[in-house]
Amino acid sequence: MSRPKLGQHWLVDKRVCKRIATAVALKHDETCIEIGGGRGALTRWLIGRPARLIVYELDPKWAAHLCEYGPAWLSKIEEHCQTDWGELREEDALRITWTREALEIGPDEKIVITGNIPFYITSPFFLNIAYSMLDIDRGVFLIQKEVAERISAEPGNTNYSRLSVSLGAFFEIETLFSVPKEAFSPKPKVTSAVVRFTRRPKPLVSPELVEKFELLVKDAFHMRRKTILNNLAAAFKNLAKKDIENILSCMGVKPNSRAQELKVQDFVTLTRMLNGEK
């Protein structure tokens, strides 16, 4: 049984599963992490393709299901080098510590993440990934289309948000294709989409400023109707409002602008300047 109240709608269209797996484009020397294996609709298309497959599934019933049927799915793959179908981890996706040490992933393993992400965890899940600074090579996710639009929105768009800026600082994002309601059981009320995150060769934010950048972006979007000046003045009480206004003016940003009008690079520059860096 699925639990739609928890955002759980099973992907049942095999054609969509195959398209997602094709978009993930796993190589034999990569480590793939799947979030929410569930009944294995996508898992069976991933098995046998990467060097390692790590599947997170919190529900004990579906965890047992994956362990039971995983070997059979692997046996149907004509060419594979694994003796095990994968590694099952019963853990909440929001409680994962995104470091190589915690994930038990070696320094030379290339990391790819995929999964059908429930609506109710999408924002915190993606924020956790973005700010972990884990060197993920790429990610392919099935999410609600409205979230995909928010993630990929440009400045000035009503969908542009904290999530757009946070992810944009670390990844290049593209929406690959839409997925109709009929591809799920039970059928959700909304259309979904598959998005791909590709890690920027060099993140826009330096590692030493990541935590400050995260807080600044959160504060800037805290009250969307307030100006960027007023939101920052409320957050940086150690600075005079006039000083913040001068910093914005030096950047060419009007103090009465809203956060949704600023580019990702503007937030990076603001983080440096508000914390005493040039």
pLDDT digits (tens, 9 = 90+) for 104-151: 999 999 999 999 999 899 999 999 999 998 999 999 999 999 999 999
* Same domain for 131 and 55: yes
Name the pLDDT band for 2 (thresholds 50, 70, 90).
very low
Residue keyed to tokens 């700010």: 131
Q: Quote the Cα angle for 244-249-255, to 5°.
A: 65
| Number of residues in the chain | 278
Instruction: Verify that 88 and 112 share a domain, yes or no.
Output: yes
Same-domain pairing of 107 and 187:
yes
How far apart are the C-alpha atoms of 102 and 130, rounded to whole Å? 16
- Tally of domains within the chain: 2
Other C-beta atoms lying within 10 Å of the C-beta of residue 272: 16
Same domain? 94 vs 225: no
Residue 145 · residue 190 · CB < 8 Å = yes
* pTM for the model: 0.92
Give me the phi and psi of 227, to 5 degrees please.
Answer: -70, 160
Whichever domain contains 245, its CATH number is 1.10.8.100
Q: Answer yes or no: do 221 and 237 share one domain.
A: yes
Q: How far is CA 153 from the centre of its chain?
A: 15
Q: Is 50 exceeded by the pLDDT of residue 228?
A: yes
Query: What is the extent of the structural domain holding 266?
Result: 207-274
- Both tokens assigned to 203: 């993140």
Residue 181's closest CA among 4, 44, 36?
4
Q: Are residues 149 and 70 located together in one domain of the fold?
A: yes
- pLDDT one-digit tens code per residue, 41-98: 999 999 999 999 999 999 999 999 999 999 999 988 766 556 689 999 999 999 999 9
**155: Cα within 13 Å, side-chain hemisphere:** 14
User: 120 and 16, same structural domain?
Assistant: yes
Residue 25 has pLDDT above 50, yes or no: yes
